[in-house]
């Protein structure tokens, strides 16, 4: 099955695209996009991969679902398009960056600049029906994104995996912590940010690790 995705990822994930589950997933997604409003726009479903080639990945941040209101989702977890009000979790992410590194909160909530530096902003489910959080879960996306994490964990070394909340932390089972740095804390959601997200220093810890690997740190 031909999938429009960045070539290095296309080569890594080619076997996944041939699996029956992925073909069923593709038919489900196509039908959903034909019948109702879904996000992100079709040409941005694989934006996280298109902006961050396989061999350029330095950091992986895992989210759960795309934003499900109009104009928000742009194919990168926690990120919203320019001009869109920053959601509460993103506000808290920027607050922690300020407290950790002294960086002022940007006006734009787009994290595209992170992706272009090597941060894979991966949602476990890559699409969603409008106004219906979780509506595309358990249709195959999780199998696909688990395979993405396994490829990175097995085929690369010296990566930083940032796992916020119990959902993301379950993926730690795929990651060899002797080859990679795994940073875990509460989720940045207002419901949990004060239970361990604030003060986790994940952004400085990630950069310190990258520098020890001889890599350029991320300009958060």
Three-state SS string over 180-198 comes to: CEEEEECCCCCCCHHHCCC
* Catalytic hit among 65, 99, 100, 176: 65
188: its two tokens? 């940045």
* φ, ψ at 82 (rounded to 5°): -50, 140
- Please say if 65 is a catalytic residue: yes
Edge-to-edge strand list for the sheet holding 119-123: 119-123, 59-63, 160-164, 181-185
Query: How far apart are alpha carbons 104 and 167 in whole angstroms?
Result: 29
Q: Helix 202-212 vs helix 88-101: angle between axes, to the nearest 10 degrees? A: 60
Q: What letter does residue 76 receive in the DSSP assignment?
A: S
Q: Which residues are catalytic?
A: 65
């Amino acid at each position: 099955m031909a999938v429009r995705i960045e070539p290095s990822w296309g080569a890594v994930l080619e076997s996944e695209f041939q699996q029956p589950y992925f073909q069923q997933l593709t038919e489900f997604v196509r039908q959903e996009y034909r019948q109702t409003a879904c996000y992100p726009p079709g040409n941005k479903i694989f934006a996280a991969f298109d902006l961050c080639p396989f061999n350029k990945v330095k950091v992986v941040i895992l989210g759960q679902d795309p934003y499900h209101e109009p104009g928000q989702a742009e194919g990168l977890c926690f990120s919203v398009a320019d001009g869109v009000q920053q959601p509460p979790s993103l506000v808290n992410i920027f607050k922690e960056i300020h407290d950790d590194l002294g960086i002022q909160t940007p006006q734009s909530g787009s994290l595209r600049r992170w992706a272009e530096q090597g941060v894979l902003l991966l949602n476990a489910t890559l699409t969603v029906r409008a106004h219906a959080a979780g509506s595309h879960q358990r249709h195959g996306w999780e199998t696909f994104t688990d395979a993405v994490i396994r490829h990175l964990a097995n085929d690369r070394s010296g990566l930083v995996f940032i796992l916020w909340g119990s959902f993301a932390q379950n993926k730690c089972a795929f990651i060899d912590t002797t080859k990679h740095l795994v940073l875990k804390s509460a989720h940045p959601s207002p419901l949990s940010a004060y239970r361990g997200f604030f003060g986790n220093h994940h952004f400085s810890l990630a950069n310190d690790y990258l520098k020890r690997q001889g890599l350029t740190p991320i300009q958060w």
